Structure 1
Amino acid sequence: MIDKCRKLWTVVVVFSMLIVSMAAIAPGASAAPVASFEVTGPKFGTSPMYVNILTNFTLTASEPSDIWYRWDDTPLTKYTEPFHAVVIIGSAGGAPPLPMDLDEGPHTLYYNCTGEAPKSLPIFLDNLVPITTLGYVGTHYSGDYQFVESDTQITLASTDAGSAVKEIRYAINNGPETVYTLPFTVLGLGLQTIVYWSTDNLGNLESQRSITVSVDNDAPDILISLGTPQLTVSGAVHIGATTPIAVSFTDISGLSSYGYKIDGGAWTDYNGPFAIPTEGHHTIFARATDNMGHASAEISLPVTVDSIAPVVTVTGTSGDTIQVGLGDKIVLQATDTGVGECIISYSFDGGITWKVYTQPLQMLGDTNITYYATDALGNSATQLTVRVYVSETSSSWRLYLGIALIVGGVLVAISTFFMFRKVPEAESSVKKKALKSREEEPEPKKKNHKRKR
């Protein structure tokens, strides 16, 4: 009896639910429309969903109905077609409404069908591109270019205020693009160009940035050069007291300090050519440090300063005169304490034509000889003049040219000269009287011969 009652109750309940269900869905009636959204284009994440100005929003209704939407607390806008993250602003006077971009950052999209409670979608508007910065680990100097060593590590870092950085890429000298994962170095010498950029998770692409780097692993190159006059004799460099001395410093990254010193003196900043006025042996030193901190070794150049002119002598002179016999020869002799290799120049009787002395000068009459000497560095002696008197007999002296070379106080070469016997005064007088008597002897008279007829 009880089981029959239970079965009857179950049938009644099921039948009642069927009646209620059928009554709820009356003929011609439909369910309330429900709005939904679809996002296409750039997007990342869900809550919030990161989007940019290119992202499309599409709204649909489950049943025919008007759909409404708004951004944040702006007025409702009737949905007609897919839209971007812009606000439609109405215009006065019946003009078409104007779209206005939303500001960067978080926003909320509200949407619903007519009669439906509004629903929301949190978004983050991200139109900004990432910003990539380049850095260095190791020796580096920023000048006309970015100077590095071959083992200096180059780092890349990027920041993005929105959807975050997806990747960093770089390329060297128009080479293949590489996804940055670890610091890298630049190989090879010379100027090299690195381009780099980042992309965020929305695809916002940063414009390529570029930087030119140059690898500098070496200390500066230094060269000491000498102007004129200068002469190298047996490996020794001779210069004058006014010879310009220039020092050149060359380095890829430029110089932070550079200078020179003479002998054991103080270091001096190099500002241009200089000279050493002090006679004797000296050593020039130079050094430099570049902007990368590479210090050169000191270089040196030994020189000998010779500013003293040679001295010319005429052996046998008495003061500024000399007496020789007819046809005798005058010899000029030069001495020099420095580089030597002298050239003696002379002229007769104040003439403007100077001749280079190469052999003894034969005297055929009274004359004035002006002479001077110049050494191989151009040091010239003061011009001197000697008065030569020529007698009709052989003189007491016969001279021969010689050049004595004294270097560093040491006599390294000397010429010789020959001296002939002096003519006795008595013998000279006899010859003069004989000559005079011959001059005074009357010429023989000519005889007149008459022709005989």
Structure 2
Amino acid sequence: MIRKNILKSMILAALAFNASAQTAQTIKPKYFKDNSTGKLYWNKKLPVYIWVSTTPDHAEQLLQKSSNEKYSVPFYLDTEGVNFIRSKNAVDPVTKEPVKPLQEVMLEVYADGVAPETGVTFYNGFRKYVNATGKVFYGPYVNFNLQATDKTSGVESIFYSINSSPFEVYHTEKKLSTQGNYTLKFFASDRVGNAGKVQEQIFTVDNTPPFTNLNVNGITDEKAVSFTSKMYFNMVDSIAGLKQTYYKFDNGNYVPYDGASIPFSALNEGQHTLAYYSTDNVNNQEPEKKFDFFLDKSSPLMAADILGDRYIANNIIYFSGKTKLKLTAIDNKVGVKVVKYAIDNQPFTTYSNPFYLPSISGLHSIRYYSIDNLDNQTTGVTGVGYEEYKHSVSKVYVDLTGPTLSHEIIGDVVIRRDTMLLGPNNFIKLNAVDPESGLQKVTYSFDGKLIENDYTTPIKMTQKGVHTFEYFGYDNVNNRNVAAFTFISDIEGPELFNFFTVGSISSKQGLEVYPSKVGFSLAGTDVLAGLKTITYSINGQPAKLYTTTVNGFKPNTKYTIKIVGTDYLGNQSSKEVSFLTGK
């Protein structure tokens, strides 16, 4: 039986410890006493020597006599967790007699030979992706957190190393903001020097979004495409790999790209915007890109004109052998690529210049079509891919001329230096006749504007200045004639002047005072149409035509004279003059 007060465990192991540059191999076994609980934790790798003493402050004798001395001096703790140094019966320290009832004396030592378990967590909402080869990717600026647990003495430190850097003590979460490949190593040690196995995580941080390139086959310099054109994407993501590409037209919803040609033939002809972007497997998203284009679904417009001799006899038109057919194809957006034609049942040939019409009497068929630079092709009303021009030499009337045009000006017209002046009372009346297919409409425009206005009633110009007036006549087969003339629009009245034959003698109530024998003279100028008349009205009396100086004013009277000037186009201007007369 060993007395409790003479038992003392002496630790003969020491630990050299540098927390800033550890590896699992440099962590040495040690012991740890938890002062808060009094528990003693002992690394199972450390030897145990038992010394006995009669006082609590020093060791006196080493216990080394044992029936199994080979394993007792020193001995090693065999049981993970609590171990006991025992005395079978407790002895009263005063009486030195066994305590009744009998009870054991057990001194605790906690053996710890198991290293902590360490784990890592990647978080902060970023996506993890593992590819088919097992390679791990994380999204931008991922954080990692290390955690360790120990069942006995408790975790003392967690260590980590990034890309073969020296191990450091882990304190708080770490952010990996730099893109690239990473090897993260980590382990933990407990408070008695058990070091866990170094664990390793190999992964790549991807901060770069994908790159999407739009390819368009069949496009003009002005970004016009045909419904026969092809649009498709090439996508690149060299790190985590492409996840998905999305696209939309105009204000529609985004849809995933299936890797084939982008369907757009259902769009209406006109201007459109294609928006698109891609995402990778860790949710890096490319900024939205846009492509503006014009969808040209229209084939060229075609017209056929008869060129050459023709004459009329007995209401029948005859074409001579010199008559030619001119084919015209127009495509305002992308331009015409080729025009093809065939006469009767002959093979199609490329059109370059007007060609002779058949001179044989009877019904003939001229087939023709055109293709624009986006391969849109003329389609006839029968849907057979071409249009037809049919004529019978003895019966068909071909109208090649537009209407005959003329105009007249309603109201008085002023001519100055070979230039016509029109005023507010003038109207332009248009006339057109077509003795062949008949008049369809007359249109007009001012000053070279491309928009033509349909003519219905005589036209008035309300803006001053020099103007060019163009008008157009269309017959029922859309032949057009053009006529034009230039004029000056004068909408301003004359400039008026007034004079007193003598000067004022004073002023009163804000008005000048003149002698009652004063004379009042008027004058005016009009640069364009010229001054026609000046009238005046004194104090509201009926207006009179001004011809000479006005006299006969009464003394001590207030006069208000209203003056009106008129030019030869009917433009008027007016002014009022007020004054007082004295004696």
* Structure 1 spans left out of the alignment, 5+ residues: 1-33, 69-77, 87-101, 398-408, 412-418, 420-453
CA offset at residue 373 of structure 1? 0.7
> Once structures 1 and 2 are overlaid, which stretch shifts more, 309-318 or 159-168?
309-318
Indicate the SS of the match to 1:48. strand
**Residue in structure 2 matching 1:270, options 239, 250, 256:** 256
Does 2:151 align with 1:165?
no
In structure 2, the partner of 1:177 is 167
Distance 1:410 1:244 in 2: 35
Work out the CA distance in 1 between the residues paired with 2:122 and 2:8.
Answer: 54
Matched, 1:132 2:124: no
- Check 1:49–1:280 CA distance in 2 against 1; reply closer, same or farther (3 A cut): closer
Indicate yes or no: 2:49 matched with 1:50: no
For residues 190 and 132 of structure 1, what CA distance do their matches in structure 2 show?
Answer: 24
What is aligned with 2:338?
A: 343
Deviation at 1:304, TM superposition (A): 1.5
Q: CA deviation at 1:303?
A: 1.8
> Relative to 1, partners in 2 of residues 1:35 and 1:174: Cα closer, same or farther, differing over 3 Å?
closer
CA distance in structure 1 between the aligned counterparts of 2:85 and 2:154, rounded to whole angstroms: 22
Q: Distance in 1 between matches of 2:10 and 2:235?
A: 72
Q: 1:153 to 1:63 in 2, by over 3 A?
A: closer
Q: Which residue is equivalent to 1:225?
A: 214
Residue 124 to residue 365, structure 1, CA distance change in 2 (3 Å): farther
Corresponding residue for 1:358?
352
- Deviation (angstroms), 1:271: 4.1
Contact 1:323 1:389 in 2 (8 A): no
Q: How does 1:313-332 map to 2 (within 5 A)?
A: 313-316=303-306, 325-326=320-321, 329-332=324-327
Give the CA deviation at 1:380.
1.0
Shift in alpha-carbon separation, 1:323–1:283, aligned structure 2, 3 A:
farther
Going from structure 1 to structure 2, the CA distance change for 1:351 and 1:203 (only over 3 Å counts) comes to farther
1:233-264 per-residue CA deviation (whole Å, 9 max, x = no partner) reads 3xx32222354544677777789997544333
In the aligned structure 2, how far is the partner of 1:66 from the partner of 1:153? 58
How much has 1:313 moved relative to structure 2? 2.8
**Residues 177-256 of structure 1 aligned to structure 2 (within 5 Å):** 177-200=167-190, 201-216=192-207, 220=209, 223=212, 225-228=214-217, 230-233=218-221, 236-241=222-227, 243-246=229-232
Q: 1:35 to 1:184 in 2, by over 3 A?
A: closer
**TM-score normalised per structure 1:** 0.55
Structure 2 SS opposite 1:193: strand
Distance in 1 between the 2:76 and 2:106 partners?
A: 16
Cα distance per residue 1:182-233 (max 9 Å; x no partner): 54432532333322222223233233231424142x6x557472544x3233
Question: Which letter maps to 1:108?
Answer: F
Aligned to 2:66: 67
TM-aligned CA distance change 1:269 to 1:136, over 3 Å: same
Q: Partners of 1:179 and 1:323 in 2: how far apart?
A: 108
User: CA, structure 1 residues 282+180, in 2 after alignment: closer, same or farther (shift >3 Å)?
Assistant: same
Describe the shift of the 1:370–1:296 C-alpha distance in structure 2 as closer, same or farther (beyond 3 A).
Answer: same
**1:379 and 2:365 aligned:** no
3-state DSSP class of the match of 1:377? coil
In the TM superposition, 1:412-431 aligns within 5 A as: none
Letter paired with 2:197: E
If asked which structure has higher relative contact order (CA below 8 Å, sep 6+), I would say 1
Q: Is the 8 A contact 2:140 2:284 kept in 1?
A: no
Structure-2 separation of matches of 1:203 and 1:64 = 28
Please identify, of 58-67 and 294-303, the stretch whose mean Cα deviation from structure 2 is larger: 58-67
Higher helix share: 1
Unpaired segments ≥5 residues, structure 2: 1-6, 14-27, 34-38, 53-60, 89-97, 99-103, 131-135, 311-316, 379-384, 401-449, 453-478, 480-583
Q: Is the 8 A contact 2:179 2:204 kept in 1?
A: no
Q: Equivalent of 1:106, from 71, 75, 82?
A: 82
**SS across alignment from 1:380:** coil
CA shift in 2, pair 1:148/1:223, >3 Å: closer
Alpha-carbon distance, 1:374 to partner: 0.8
Change (3 A) 1:35 1:312: closer
CA offsets, 1:102-158, max 9 Å, x none?
4x322225599xxxx9996633232322223334675633333453544x6544332
* Displacement of 1:344: 0.9
Structure with the largest fraction of strand: 2
Distance 1:57 1:325, change over 3 A: farther
Between the aligned partners of 2:63 and 2:323, the Cα distance in structure 1 is 143
Q: Structure 1 pair 196/242, CA: closer, same or farther in 2 (3 Å)?
A: farther
The SS at the match of 1:156 is strand
In the alignment, the residues of structure 1 paired with residue 176 and residue 358 of structure 2 have an alpha-carbon distance, to the nearest angstrom, of: 85
RMSD between superposed Cα atoms in Å = 4.9
For 1:67, the aligned partner's letter is: S
Corresponding residue for 2:138? 147
CA deviation after TM superposition for structure 1 residue 368, in Å: 5.9
Could you say if the C-alpha distance between residues 163 and 350 of structure 1 is closer, same or farther in structure 2, counting changes exceeding 3 Å? farther
Provide TM-score, normalisation by structure 2.
0.44
**Deviation of the 1:170 alpha carbon:** 1.8
Q: Deviations over 1:60-107 (max 9, x none)?
A: 996998525xxxxxxxxx443355444xxxxxxxxxxxxxxx4x3222
Instruction: Report the identity percentage.
Output: 21
User: For the Cα contact (< 8 Å) 2:129–2:282, is it kept in 1?
Assistant: no
Maintained 8 Å contact 1:35/1:111: no
State the 1:295 CA deviation.
Answer: 6.9
**Post-superposition CA distance 1:14-33 (Å, at most 9, x none):** xxxxxxxxxxxxxxxxxxxx
